[in-house]
Amino acid sequence: MQTVLLAGGLGSRLSEETTRIPKPMVEVAGRPIMLHVMDIYSHWGQHDFIVACGYKCMLMKSFFQNLPLMVNDFTVALGTGQLHLRPNRVSDWNVSVVDTGETTMTGGRLLRLREWLTDGPFMVTYSDGVGNVDIDALLAFHRSHGGLATVTAVQPPARFGNLEIDHGRVTEFTEKVVKYETWINGGFFVFEPGVFDYLTGDAESLEQAPLARLARDGQLFAYQHKGFWHPMDTVRDREQLERLCLDGTPPWLRFGEETDVAHRPAIYA
């Protein structure tokens, strides 16, 4: 099944990095965040990707063109220029990189890929958020409800501590805890081709009118992911994800684990 990576935005809240590179190429633990997202899908046997790029698209195209040289060793015959790769890691990823326009919104980017997508369902996600989502379970859920669209609902990481107060006295002080359920759009979509009928053009965000219309028509379903999920919207987010890589396998690649909401890693560690 094909997986679309939405990778064309400006990433203005990460301007310290994105003035020179696209946001999906900002590195976490020495690798672009986009590759970490692709690792999640690859774990579940999903290797066919379409990158919908826009801002600094040529850098993105150059990166993927040269990626085989960066991740593998090689021998080059200097007289002829003939190159022989000596793979360090086996990867059967197939990556299409498509310029979907520098100012195109997410709905428009997806619409521009209509001819790139074969018949049948496909997946879509953002290139800057990671989670240990069970892709097989997500696909099984999508097939079970018969609707056009599935969004993965996640519970956002806590940003602040919690105070319990009784008549002015603090009875409990807990760092970075969430006491209630808040579900938000975490990406990791599954769509049927009929979703294209809900997209109108370049100026429309997928997250606004199209998803609202799908919900109104009873065609949008939510797969509730209770495991790890974390966005990378700010420098502090990137630093937090870096810290989570220090202990070996990062939590977005530890599958089958549910995260206790009260003990989730917080953005502001």
Backbone angles phi, psi at 178, to 5 degrees: -115, 125
Asked if residues 97 and 51 have their Cβ atoms less than 8 Å apart, the reply is yes
pLDDT tens-place string over residues 196-241? 999 999 999 999 899 999 999 999 999 999 999 999 988 889 999 9
| pLDDT tens per residue, range 35-84 | 999 999 999 999 999 999 999 999 999 999 988 888 888 888 898 888 88
The reported pLDDT for the residue numbered 213 is: 93
Cα-only R_g, the chain: 20
Q: Which domains does the chain have, with CATH numbers?
A: 2-154+183-263 (3.90.550.10)
Instruction: Please provide the size of the chain in residues.
Output: 269
Give me the sign of the Cα torsion angle 158, 210, 234, 93. Answer: positive
| pLDDT at residue 87, rounded to an integer | 79
CA–CA separation, 59 and 65 (whole Å): 10
Chain centroid to CA 24: 9
Look at residues 136, 144, 97 and name the one whose alpha carbon lies nearest to residue 116: 97
Q: Identify the sign of the CA torsion 141, 263, 248, 61.
A: positive
pLDDT in tens, 88-120: 776 789 999 999 999 999 999 999 999 999 889
pTM: 0.86
Instruction: Report the pLDDT value the prediction gives residue 8, as an integer from 0 to 100.
Output: 83
pLDDT in tens, 172-190: 666 655 555 688 999 999 9
